[in-house]
């Protein structure tokens, strides 16, 4: 441990020892965040005479004061709460903490008797849209310094920044003011206008045409509303991505790693120009990557996943076979309690008016953790504590050889290309249990590769960095703490044993936070939940491909084979084959169009003849093609008191053999003239969006709760109505529905026809007797 001198100087805050804030009135911003919570806890537990004003923005209908009450129940306060009890907490809220409701850029009056301000609030994401990053980090800083100036207070401001404000550089970054000459006010104005500019560009006809045609290619089978919705989502996403990209590229073009560090650098400039240059006291504290507490409030405390954690967790899950990091770059990590201790020590040792102090609370100079050592620790941890695999067994973590950015990029591109080719091939094959399993693997691989790219992009600057942060001022600040105080409130990074910290403190603490590491049964193995008894839900079954393994072409052939003389068969068959390309094209475009066009083949058939055929041979064939698992499921819903409905885009007469199983059959009716079918439907077929509209209306009429209801469909065109239901299932889905079902973690049923289908006894009741509309 470094030598310390017992300082006995009077602090600006009214305390008498270094590190003591006495009876100071302290404004804290960002108190609901990771670092802010830990600052508040320290003030409450160890500076009992201090008075705290906390800037908290309301969230939805929750006021700032309510947020504070919830906040004080969080784990960081547990030790303090146990010590002071519920009354002590209430007393602190009543006598020591005043909530100032508001956001940084929108501040009302601040108190006029502030001694210290700890400004910690910020947007900490690396990759926000440029306008949001500037609004929070630069606009927020401007807002706070404007409000302080207006208040008449003359506090010492501890402005929390980041060590990475130094930007993209090699070598030592000093604890001093930044030297860049960028016109930060002009950048701020441009960023504020970016949103409007990008919104306008997204509404140009050429852009809109691109969104619509991409949406049509993917969603036309779901209906025109789905196409419009997808086109608009694509536009909104384009705006967001473009704003993120603008932030990233503008930061890089000015010499910073990302828009976060760029805006934090500009916030420092705002602090210097608006506060220090006006003759006030300013200390800028720049921590590096903040992670779990080493000691205070207890070993391992952390509030959610922080900067390095997604990378550690992704490694543990085995989805990062390699990484583009430099083995000897320094991953500059610092425990959160060291940061809080340094902030409070800085607050108690104010800078001279007009001459800001700079503290880099970092580990890279005094106790470096090279990236290769971090990798070794993470590897050792996951080898001794392997993560359970989705199915069974454990993830075998890879050994990173860190071959360099170029080689990793080459391998990633190859893997992406191979996966895309595999996906294209699978999409050409018929949808079967096996091809759906292949599709699931391809999707999993794609999501792993996307995660890898995100991680590689986000962390590149941090794990390929050759920057080292000077920390002499910070060490001197720590040395100035009196010996007795230093044991608990010191921040000498040389005390940290990285192997111990990573393997015993930090990684175990983030592991306890994640459920991703609990064994999660795969969708396939998830047990079917028993159906709850209730009468306010409906189970909707699509017919073709879901309850029966046939389609309307086959049904037509069954009818024709029962009603035709043998001699007429070849002509009928040839005509059907000749029209096949027309039918396929219509089916690809729009399911409703295909049904309409195909059903024209019934034109000229006497309606009574069709009914006769359905009641005889057709009915038996239909039952042979019915899937026993479907019948079991329909019965289970009926036993649970659920309303059951069969829906088909085709005509009701053809669904009649199964009508007895359902409370309702919803189908179209074919128009007749003088007892002869015209081939025209009485109304548009009930498919895709039309089915969704019918379902909404049906639920309203029968007072049904759709979020608790069930749906079973097999085709992409079923997506739009299935998503209205709380319990959607894809049954033997086509490739597009399978892809969506996998993405949304819907249940996928692989139902098979029995060796001879089902017979009337199995259905238990004469379904044909009930008949169906149409």
Ligand X SMILES: NC(=O)c1ccc[n+]([C@@H]2O[C@H](COP(=O)([O-])OP(=O)(O)OC[C@H]3O[C@@H](n4cnc5c(N)ncnc54)[C@H](OP(=O)(O)O)[C@@H]3O)[C@@H](O)[C@H]2O)c1
Peptide bond into 374 cis (omega under 30): no
Map residues 41-60 to x or -, x wherever contact with ligand X holds by CB under 6 A.
----------------x---
Taking the alpha carbons of 542, 546, 550, 553 in that order, is the dihedral positive or negative? positive
Residue number with CB closer to ligand X (368 or 617): 368
What letter does residue 704 receive in the DSSP assignment?
Answer: -
Instruction: Output 89 or 103, the one with its CB closest to ligand X.
Output: 103
Give the nearer residue to ligand X in terms of CB position, either 162 or 292: 162
* Cα 301 from Cα 311, distance rounded (Å): 19
Minimum CB distance to ligand X, residue 137 (Å):
8
> Between residues 269 and 633, which has the closer beta carbon with respect to ligand X?
269
| 64 counts as binding ligand X under rule CB under 6 A | no
Other residues' Cβ atoms within 10 Å of the Cβ of residue 75: 13
The nearest distance, CB 188 to ligand X, in angstroms, is 15
Binding-site size for ligand X (CB under 6 A) equals 25
Contact 334, 463 (CB under 8 A): no
162 binds ligand X (CB under 6 A): yes
Q: How far apart are CA 68 and CA 748, in angstroms?
A: 44
What whole-number distance in Å separates Cα of residue 617 and Cα of residue 607?
16
Binding to ligand X (CB under 6 A) within 7-36 occurs at: 30, 32-36
- At 25 the three-state DSSP class reads strand
CA dihedral 186, 187, 191, 193 (to 10 degrees): 20
Coil vs helix vs strand at 50: coil
Q: Please identify, using beta-carbon distances, which residue of 45 and 125 lies nearer to ligand X.
A: 125
**Single residue of 28, 99, 110, 121 touching ligand X by CB under 6 A:** 121
Least separation in angstroms between CB 680 and ligand X: 60
On the 0-12 / 13-18 / 19+ scale of CB atoms within 10 A, 324 is buried
442 binding ligand X? (CB under 6 A) = no
Closest CA to 455 of 447, 466, 467: 447
Q: Does residue 342 bind ligand X (CB under 6 A)?
A: no
CA–CA distance, 193 with 628 (Å, rounded to integer): 62
Tell the smallest beta-carbon distance from residue 323 to ligand X (Å). 20
CB under 8 Å to 445, separation ≥6 — which residues? 415, 419
CA dist., res. 601 & res. 583, Å (int): 12
Span of 102-110, 313-321, 654-662, 752-760 interacting with ligand X by CB under 6 A: 102-110
Break the chain down into helix, strand, coil percent, rounded to 5.
50, 15, 35
- Residue closer to ligand X by CB (options 67, 637) is 67
Characterise 467 by phi-psi region: left (phi > 0), alpha (psi -120 to 50), beta (else).
Answer: beta
CB-based contacts of 462: which residues, under 8 Å, 6+ apart?
Answer: 164, 257, 289, 307, 331
What lies within 8 Å, CB to CB, of 738 at 6+ separation is: 431, 436, 439, 730, 748
Residues 529-558 that bind ligand X (CB under 6 A): none
Tell the smallest beta-carbon distance from residue 334 to ligand X (Å).
Answer: 8
Segment holding 36, helix H or strand E: helix 34-46
Q: Which residue, 142 or 198, has its beta carbon nearer to ligand X? A: 142
Query: Which is nearest to 223 in space by CA: 591, 740, 503?
Result: 591
- Which residue in 15, 128, 129, 140 binds ligand X (CB under 6 A)? 140
* Contact flag: residue 104 with ligand X (CB under 6 A): yes
- Which residue's CB comes closest to ligand X? 33
* Options 101-109, 653-661, 664-672, 695-703: segment touching ligand X (CB under 6 A): 101-109
Least distance (Å) between residue 265 CB and ligand X: 11
Q: How far is the CB of 394 from ligand X (least distance, A)?
A: 30
As measured in angstroms, the least distance from the Cβ of 29 to ligand X is: 6
Report, in angstroms and rounded to the nearest whole number, the Rg of the chain calculated over CA atoms. 34
Smaller CB distance to ligand X: residue 473 or 753?
Answer: 473
Query: Which of residues 290 and 442 has its CB atom nearest to ligand X in the complex?
Result: 290
The answer to whether residue 166 forms part of the interface with ligand X (CB under 6 A) is no
- Binding string, 273-292, against ligand X, x = CB under 6 A? --------------x-xx--
SS3 for 597?
helix
Instruction: Tell whether residue 100 is a contact of ligand X (CB under 6 A).
Output: no
Residue in this structure with the two tokens 């405390």, named with its chain if needed: 301
The residue behind tokens 């079967």 is: 432
CB neighbours of residue 605 within 10 Å: 19
Q: How far is the CB of 138 from ligand X (least distance, A)?
A: 11
* Residue nearer to ligand X on the CB measure, 122 or 727: 122
Residues 6 or more apart whose CB falls under 8 angstroms from that of 651 comprise 599, 667, 668, 669, 670, 681, 774
Residues 299-328 that bind ligand X (CB under 6 A): 306-307
Taking CB under 6 A as the rule, does residue 371 contact ligand X? no
Q: Which of 122, 626, 727, 767 binds ligand X (CB under 6 A)?
A: 122
Whole-number minimum distance, CB 239 to ligand X, in Å?
21
Nearer to ligand X, 104 or 742 (CB): 104
Q: Which one, 25 or 286, has the nearer CB to ligand X?
A: 286
From 114-122, 192-200, 509-517, 545-553, span contacting ligand X (CB under 6 A): 114-122
Residues 579-618 that bind ligand X (CB under 6 A): none
Query: Using the rule CB under 6 A, is 123 a contact of ligand X?
Result: yes
Of the two residues 111 and 405, which places its CB atom closer to ligand X in the complex? 111
Q: Please, which residue, 150 or 574, has the CB nearer to ligand X?
A: 150
Q: Which residues bind ligand X (CB under 6 A)?
A: 30, 32-36, 57, 103-105, 120-124, 136, 140, 160, 162, 264, 287, 289-290, 306-307
């Amino acid at each position: 441990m470094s030598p310390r001198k017992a300082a006995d100087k009077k602090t600006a805050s009214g305390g008498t020892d270094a590190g003591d804030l006495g009876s100071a009135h302290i404004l804290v911003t960002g108190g609901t965040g990771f670092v802010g919570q830990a600052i508040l806890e320290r003030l409450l537990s160890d500076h009992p005479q201090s008075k705290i004003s906390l800037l908290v923005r309301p969230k939805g209908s929750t006021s700032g004061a309510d947020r504070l009450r919830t906040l004080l129940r969080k784990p960081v306060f547990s030790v303090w709460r146990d010590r002071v009890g519920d009354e002590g907490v209430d007393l602190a809220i009543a006598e020591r903490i005043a909530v100032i409701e508001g956001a940084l850029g929108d501040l009302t009056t601040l108190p006029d008797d502030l001694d210290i301000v700890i400004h910690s609030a910020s947007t900490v994401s690396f990759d926000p849209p440029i306008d949001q990053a500037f609004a929070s980090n630069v606009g927020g800083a401007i807002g706070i310094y404007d409000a302080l100036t207006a208040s008449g207070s003359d506090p010492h401001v501890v402005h929390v920044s980041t060590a990475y404000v130094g930007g993209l550089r090699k070598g030592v970054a000093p604890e001093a003011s930044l030297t860049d000459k960028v016109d930060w006010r002009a950048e701020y104005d441009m960023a504020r206008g970016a949103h409007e500019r990008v919104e306008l560009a997204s509404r140009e006809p050429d852009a809109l045409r691109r969104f619509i045609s991409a949406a049509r290619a993917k969603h036309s089978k779901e209906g025109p509303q789905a196409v419009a919705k997808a086109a608009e989502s694509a536009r909104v996403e384009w705006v967001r991505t473009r704003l993120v990209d603008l932030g990233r590229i503008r930061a890089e073009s000015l010499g910073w790693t990302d828009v976060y560090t760029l805006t934090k650098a500009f916030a420092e400039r705002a602090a210097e120009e608006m506060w220090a240059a006006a003759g006030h006291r300013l200390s800028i504290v720049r921590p590096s990557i903040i992670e779990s507490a080493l000691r205070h409030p207890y070993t391992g405390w952390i509030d959610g996943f922080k900067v390095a954690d997604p990378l550690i967790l992704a490694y543990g899950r085995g989805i990062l076979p390699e990484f583009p990091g430099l083995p000897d770059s320094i991953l500059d990590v610092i425990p959160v309690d060291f940061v809080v201790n340094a902030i409070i020590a800085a607050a108690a040792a104010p800078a001279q008016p007009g001459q800001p102090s700079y503290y880099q609370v970092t580990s890279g100079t005094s106790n470096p953790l090279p990236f290769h050592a971090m990798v070794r620790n993470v590897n050792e941890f996951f080898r001794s504590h392997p993560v359970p695999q989705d199915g069974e067994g454990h993830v075998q973590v890879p050994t990173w050889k860190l071959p360099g950015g170029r080689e990793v990029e080459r391998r990633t591109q190859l893997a992406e290309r191979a996966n895309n080719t595999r996906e294209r091939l699978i999409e050409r094959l018929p949808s079967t249990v096996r091809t759906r399993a292949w599709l699931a693997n391809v999707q999993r691989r794609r999501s792993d590769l996307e995660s890898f790219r995100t991680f590689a992009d986000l962390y590149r600057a941090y794990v390929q960095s050759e920057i080292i942060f000077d920390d002499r001022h910070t060490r001197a600040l720590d040395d100035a703490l009196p010996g007795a105080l230093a044991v608990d409130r010191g921040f000498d990074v040389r005390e940290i044993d990285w192997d111990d910290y990573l393997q015993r403190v930090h990684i175990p603490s983030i592991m306890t936070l994640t459920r991703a590491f609990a064994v999660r049964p795969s969708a396939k193995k998830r047990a079917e939940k028993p159906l709850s008894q209730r009468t306010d839900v409906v189970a909707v079954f699509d017919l073709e491909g879901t309850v029966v393994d046939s389609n309307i072409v086959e049904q037509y052939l069954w009818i024709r084979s029962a009603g035709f003389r043998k001699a007429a068969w070849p002509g009928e068959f040839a005509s059907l084959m000749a029209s096949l390309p027309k039918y396929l094209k219509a089916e690809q475009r729009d399911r409703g169009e295909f049904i309409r066009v195909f059903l024209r083949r019934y034109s000229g058939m006497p309606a009574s003849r069709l009914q006769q055929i359905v009641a005889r041979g057709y009915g038996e064939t239909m039952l042979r093609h019915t899937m026993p698992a479907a019948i079991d499921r329909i019965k289970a819903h009926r036993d649970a008191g659920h309303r059951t409905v069969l829906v088909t885009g085709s005509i009701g007469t053809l669904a009649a053999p199964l009508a007895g199983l359902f409370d309702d059959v919803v189908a179209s009716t074919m128009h007749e003239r003088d007892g002869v079918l015209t081939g025209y439907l009485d109304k548009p077929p009930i498919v895709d969006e039309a089915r969704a509209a019918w379902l909404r209306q049906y639920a309203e009429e029968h007072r049904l709760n759709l979020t608790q209801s069930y749906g079973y469909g097999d085709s992409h065109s079923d997506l739009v109505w299935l998503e209205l239901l709380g319990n959607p299932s894809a049954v033997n889905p086509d490739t597009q529905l399978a892809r969506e079902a996998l993405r949304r973690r819907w249940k996928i049923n692989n139902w098979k026809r029995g060796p001879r289908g089902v017979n009337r006894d199995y259905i238990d009741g004469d379904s044909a007797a009930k008949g169906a509309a149409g």
